[in-house]
Amino acid sequence: MNILFIGDVCGKPGREAVKRTLPQLRKQLELDLVIADVENLAHGRGASPGTIDEIMSYGVDFLTAGNHIWRSNDFEYILGNYPIIRALNYPDDIPGKGFDIIEMSDQRRVLVATVLGKFGINDSVATNPLRALDDLLEKVDYESLDAIIVEYHGEATSEKVTTGLYLDGMVTAVVGTHTHVATADERILPNGTAYITDIGMVGTMNSSLWVKSDIVVQQMKYPYSPRYEIEDKGPLKLDSVLIRTDGPKKAEKISRISKIL
């Protein structure tokens, strides 16, 4: 099975990049499933029903969300009415769910889970990500699944690498998101799990992680700055990874797929 996981899609420029690349990628790479992180989908701050409908119309099948999904007033509706998950390591009374099993038309089944990192995220509600994954995987019926994809939405590279090694041989792939900067460490770990520390982002390439850089410069130099605005000028970039699966506990291959428009 060929699964494409797209990094954080940021605002209108990110949606435009998906529009201009994904239909061709679906054919070229013979994709069976496309997953995208959409926590920055609506002007860089959460998502909206309209922006989700838009990106799904371009060929995205399933959605994940990190700590910024709560910035939208529509978060409760979104998490209850779309094929989307929030972090697994939130308490049960938080809206949405932390994992889901995608039932594909050819009867194949893919479990997708997201966890939120601890260092630098400043989310006091999220619990320990490894313990949350332990609880989930202890209950998984591996024989009923064709793949298990875990997204680690976190700031610290050490947390992501450690989680990848911890889950090696237990899941198909562990992919990192949140920093918006693609890393060059995609590989198959010793026990067969595909891994990358961060997939990257989708949006305006010459921006400060989607924000107009002059605003961030002012923030760095002074104790006051304007409200963040999304950079909408210049070339667009789409960062993603292609995962070729080999069952729920290992992958055949992981490749970075990046496009500059």
Which tens digit of pLDDT belongs to each residue from 70-104?
988 899 999 999 999 999 999 999 999 999 999 99
Pair 63, 34: CB distance under 8 Å: no
Catalytic residues: 68
CA distance 64 to 38: 6
CATH class, range 2-260: alpha beta
Is the pLDDT at 225 greater than 80? The verdict is no
From residue 79, how far is each of 31, 42, 60, 84, 101 by CA, in Å? Answer: 25, 15, 16, 6, 15
Looking at residues 183-204, what average pLDDT do you find?
A: 98
What was the pLDDT predicted at 143? 96
CA distance 131 to 49: 32
What was the pLDDT predicted at 209? 83
Q: Which residues pair with 174 in a beta bridge?
A: 150, 195
Residues 6+ apart with CB under 8 A from 192: 168, 169, 246, 249, 250, 251
Q: How confident is the model at residue 120 (pLDDT cuts 50, 70, 90)?
A: confident
Q: What is the pTM of this model?
A: 0.95
What was the pLDDT predicted at 178? 95
pLDDT tens, position by position, 143-155:
999 999 999 999 9
Pair 198, 182: CB distance under 8 Å: yes
